[in-house]
Structure 1
């Protein structure tokens, strides 16, 4: 199995996956135009085995309390698969499969699989988490950094969506547990979409990208000048404590997102 970059093509769409750098999407180009912010920490990375922040890096599983490294003090953030070397299991022209084995400091043995599928009009990303032993709580999602302005200039991106609620954010950047009416930006907030994530990014006169997922949680981050983030995920920040999904020997955690583009 290799950790070399993998490039998929379909018509005028091209995506590059970097299994050696957290299995992130390092590049997504449509008609030669780069959609994702470039850089070792950017692109679009999978968030596993949790999404967003865990309060004080601690989560409870039954009577056990587990401590994760505080990579965003005083919290732990975005899992650690984004910092790991994944392996390429198989590839074709427009599909690739990658795997990563969960190891310490995560207290449970298991495997994460990401499948990347490209067509001329869409990119589909799938994540699965399976256990090699006991059941455990987990989350999965994606953290894309979309360029605020596309190559060649033009107007900045507009983000359009209609959430049912916003998770009230405390001073520690974690949800307080209260749901409030959605507020305008700038945002670093989690929103609820019970019918599934449905967010459209529009670069006027250039391109529109619709981000969809069957999950009901999305984090929108637009506080930076260079990029914006639309992050579909299986639960809210601190969700290992408040809304975990259980990975069992007979039921893995499986989720997906599809980004569909339209030329304007």
Structure 2
């Protein structure tokens, strides 16, 4: 069935599993949980009532990144021979961050018991989050079943000119002293103090993630992009709780971000993204930085999924 824009949460259910969507909070997922033996298991960090009341995407369980992921240096770049200035887009951060879709209300276009489609139409203007100078539309198709929560992200360039583009999602996971991250990547992007990439190279966390024990979420102070995520698979596990969640992604989600800050020991993000931070200003091979250019009318679509395991 179809629905109109709403400030209410939308619940998807499959047996004891539940997903809460907050379309009015940047098209975010507010919770993903299940009930076992009268105990609620949070697979993603749930949004608090305060975060929902404040409509704070950073307080959600996961939110979409469109039409680019992570930071753009000084909110400026050159594209197709012309400067693009995003400094007036209403973003409160030092550099343009995560695009604008997470700061705009989405609408529920279709919904059933275990599936939903969220839709966003962006038309440029000089107003805050509408400041991105290219028209585009995006959808998120979300499906819940007995094992997996999948999200298919799609976007189409509605402008009459090419548009630089990237996409991803920004999930927060429960973080405990025993949380481990397992993944195989080629290199970590080292960065400046204000988190802009400088070069991709080795780091102990790369080897730790590939080890049987995995990387402890507390081992390093991380807010970094990773290149060469060729398997596009990562697992977050809680060995003491005998449970894990596996992230699988399609191309072009060829890059991964880990946010595990030492200063905020409750926060952990392992993000599927199609471009590294500041990709559009980086003078490196496309394979190392990702990102794309959508021609007028061109579309892109890709799926990622979380598969849970207990026992």
TM-score after normalising by structure 2: 0.78
CA RMSD, aligned part only? Answer: 1.7
Give the structure with the higher percent helix. 2
Given candidates 84, 106, 110, the residue that maps to 1:66 is 84
Shift, 1:11, TM fit = 2.1
Matched residue, 2:135? 109
Take 1:61 and 1:55, find their aligned partners in 2: how far apart are those partners? 14
Q: How does 1:1-264 map to 2 (within 5 A)?
A: 1-3=4-6, 4-31=8-35, 32-37=40-45, 38-39=47-48, 40=51, 41-42=58-59, 43-68=61-86, 69=89, 71-103=91-123, 104-133=130-159, 134-149=161-176, 156-176=178-198, 178-184=199-205, 185-204=220-239, 205-214=241-250, 215-223=253-261, 224-242=264-282, 243-264=290-311
> Gapped runs of 5+ residues in structure 2?
52-57, 124-129, 206-219, 283-289
Give the structure with the higher percent strand. 1
> Between Structure 1 and Structure 2, whose CA radius of gyration is higher?
2
| Contact kept? 2:157, 2:298, Cα under 8 Å | no
Shift, 1:250, TM fit = 4.7
Seen in structure 2, the aligned counterparts of structure 1 residues 226 and 80 have a Cα distance that, compared at 3 Å, is: same
Dislocated runs of 4+, deviation >4 Å: none
TM-score after normalising by structure 1: 0.91
Q: Deviations over 1:90-129 (max 9, x none)?
A: 0111110011111330101111111111111111111111
> Gapped runs of 5+ residues in structure 1?
150-154
| Contact kept? 1:246, 1:253, Cα under 8 Å | no
Shift, 1:198, TM fit = 1.2
**Secondary structure of the equivalent of 1:44?**
coil
Give the total of aligned pairs.
258
